[in-house]
Structure 1
Amino acid sequence: MDRADAHLHLFADGYPGRYGRSPAGGQEIAAYQDIRRVHGIDRALVVGYEGESRFAGNNDYLAGLAARHPWIAPVAYVPPGGPADGQLARWWAAGFVGLAVYLTDAEAADRFTDWVAGSAGDLITAGAVLSLNATPAATRRLGTALAALDGCPVLFSHLGLPGSRATPPDPQQAAETLTPLLDLAPLPHVGVKISGLYAVSEPPHAWPHTAARPFVELLLERFGSRRLYWGSDFPPSLDHVSFAQTLEPVGLDDLSPTERADVFGANLRRVLDRATATGGDVSAAEPSS
């Protein structure tokens, strides 16, 4: 089965990891190239991050990689309040397909929604893919802003960040935790990445991360297999599990072969094909429900 990875990171000096060095064991781009060959990964959404000073310059690094590696589709890190004037045009010209935004709380979400209110038209024209790392508290405040971005695929990372736990929640507890994200399910351009399951598990190395199962099953029920996207979270995930283990997330056991192909690659390919072919055509950027 050909795969496409909806969430990974690449850093010039390596992700420092829990031991002060990249868990990829060497230069990350070289390590991921080998992983791609072994596991048949033909496309990847590479998520920019500059939220700490030690990661400054990551957007420029990803632009350089994307120019040399056609399989890379980068999304540029932006702070919650949006980029500097003129930066969007620079990123589109550099080959970025969208933006990565990290929203840890309600205040950050409000800054993001204020920026979107004035930038929605530009984002829709570009068919920008939005990768959101948003907590439930932040997600609760995003409904109006995301509804206005109906030409932009919006992908929530890591199951919507429900938090870690030692035992699986019951279905009602899972639904209450993810209510802000589930409320967005009627928006056909909103989807969720099945990624970062180690962050839902306590301890995080306790693969297969059974504490994540109720969340995955709930997201599958509400969003459907056409709006879920497998992501490896390379290289941070390698601090806790092997890459091969990221390929077997819990909660997807009963998918048909077609549904499994959608989650593990076809859905992301459709999004990326639209993002690179819109040319200002808004309707082409909207993923199927």
Structure 2
Amino acid sequence: MTVVDAHLHVWDPGAAAYNWLGPAMAPVDRAMRFHEARPALRTAEVTAAVLVQAADNDADTEHMLAIAAANPEVVGVVAWVPLDDPDRVAARLRALRRDPHVVGVRTLLHERSDPQWITGPDAGAGLALLAEAGLPFDYSTTSPAALRHLPELAVRHPTLRLVVDHLGKPPVGGGREDRAEWRRLIAAAAKHPGVHAKVSGLYSASGPLGAWSTDQVRPFVEDALELFGPERLMYGGDWPVSLLAGGYARTWESVCALLAPLPPDDRAAVLGVTAARFYRLDPALLNAARDAAG
């Protein structure tokens, strides 16, 4: 089975500006390089990885592409483009599509002061260009509230593939009402067949990120499996943020335990097949990743 980690980060403050990175993120408030993640990936028998943008600038994208060129395990890069500047989006997409590693686009929605930004006409024009180019959009959020925009976006852009990062940050460790609200919002998004989700970044919603347990995460994964089905879910290890939540091995083992009751084909979908199909990962790059993994 080919296991794809569909959500992994690298960053280097010497190569790009990361405005959110500071002492509060210690000990990952430094350059985090792919070779540091490799041992954990190999222990988990992860075959391939998709790098996901960590800053809204071209320099971060170029840094990821350089990492991808040097490491065969990296089979995809979710890049950044300035969605609210359609002319620049078109030009940037033409340049990025020359690299087979570029498989999607993301912007840090949760870092924007305007929570309605993604529904505005300028961002909408950018999303339309993504749909035309056949590139999906990673939908980032630090709380479930932003999920309310997804049904509208799915209707406006019916051919645009969307993936909700980290299941929309469910209230792990929260109360019954919080879970009900999260489920209501993500269920509305899941009604649209082009919307997918990542089983990733499922940490405590309050207090230290590591204050979570598999049993606390279980109901959210079960809800996601019910609402999306395994064919629209994909695994993401969220390295190096996962280091702040108990480590990559802990999150990997938790996901494996939660998926264990599924039939083999359903587990395979969440652990790799969905990501390969959704991101349209290049078969040649996947083969190279398998060879590198031994």
Q: TM-score, normalised by structure 1?
A: 0.79
Match of 1:31 in 2: 36
Match of 1:189 in 2: 194
Question: CA RMSD of the aligned region, Å?
Answer: 3.1
What amino acid maps onto 1:69 in structure 2? Answer: N
The secondary structure found in structure 1 opposite 2:116 is helix
Please state how far the C-alpha of 1:102 moved relative to its aligned partner.
2.6
Q: TM-score, normalised by structure 2?
A: 0.78
Q: Could you tell me how far apart the structure 2 residues matched to 1:219 and 1:257 are?
A: 18
Match of 1:129 in 2: 136
Asked if the contact 1:106–1:137 (Cα under 8 Å) also holds between the matched residues in 2, the reply is no
Deviations 1:126-164 (A, max 9, x none): 221211113432221232222343333311111212345
Asked if the contact 2:86–2:125 (Cα under 8 Å) also holds between the matched residues in 1, the reply is no
Match of 2:69 in 1: 67
Asked if the contact 2:83–2:127 (Cα under 8 Å) also holds between the matched residues in 1, the reply is no
Instruction: Give the alignment partner of residue 79 of structure 2, picking from 76, 79, 98.
Output: 76
Asked if the contact 2:58–2:81 (Cα under 8 Å) also holds between the matched residues in 1, the reply is no
What amino acid maps onto 2:227 in structure 1? Answer: R
Match of 1:141 in 2: 149
Is 1:243 matched with 2:251? Answer: no
Structure 1's 128 and 157: CA in aligned 2 closer, same or farther, altered over 3 A? same
Alignment of 1:90-101 (within 5 A): 90-94=95-99, 95-101=101-107
Is 1:10 matched with 2:10? Answer: yes
Q: Could you tell me how far apart the structure 1 residues matched to 2:29 and 2:45 are?
A: 21
Q: Could you tell me how far apart the structure 1 residues matched to 2:96 and 2:70 are?
A: 16
Please state how far the C-alpha of 1:46 moved relative to its aligned partner.
0.9
Q: Could you tell me how far apart the structure 2 residues matched to 1:72 and 1:151 are?
A: 24
Instruction: State the identity as a percent.
Output: 28
Q: Could you tell me how far apart the structure 2 residues matched to 1:268 and 1:127 are?
A: 15
Q: Could you tell me how far apart the structure 1 residues matched to 2:147 and 2:112 are?
A: 8
Aligned residue pairs, count = 269
Structure 1's 139 and 80: CA in aligned 2 closer, same or farther, altered over 3 A? farther
Q: Could you tell me how far apart the structure 2 residues matched to 1:96 and 1:211 are?
A: 35
The secondary structure found in structure 2 opposite 1:93 is coil
Structure 1's 37 and 60: CA in aligned 2 closer, same or farther, altered over 3 A? same
Asked if the contact 2:10–2:32 (Cα under 8 Å) also holds between the matched residues in 1, the reply is no
List runs of 5+ in structure 1 lacking aligned partners.
278-289
Structure 1's 91 and 176: CA in aligned 2 closer, same or farther, altered over 3 A? same
What amino acid maps onto 2:76 in structure 1? Answer: A
List runs of 5+ in structure 2 lacking aligned partners.
15-20, 284-294
Q: Could you tell me how far apart the structure 2 residues matched to 1:219 and 1:5 are?
A: 18
Is 1:40 matched with 2:42? Answer: no
Q: Could you tell me how far apart the structure 1 residues matched to 2:22 and 2:263 are?
A: 38
Deviations 1:93-112 (A, max 9, x none): 34421111232399745322
Please state how far the C-alpha of 1:23 moved relative to its aligned partner.
8.4
Asked if the contact 2:151–2:192 (Cα under 8 Å) also holds between the matched residues in 1, the reply is no
Match of 1:111 in 2: 117
Structure 1's 4 and 209: CA in aligned 2 closer, same or farther, altered over 3 A? same
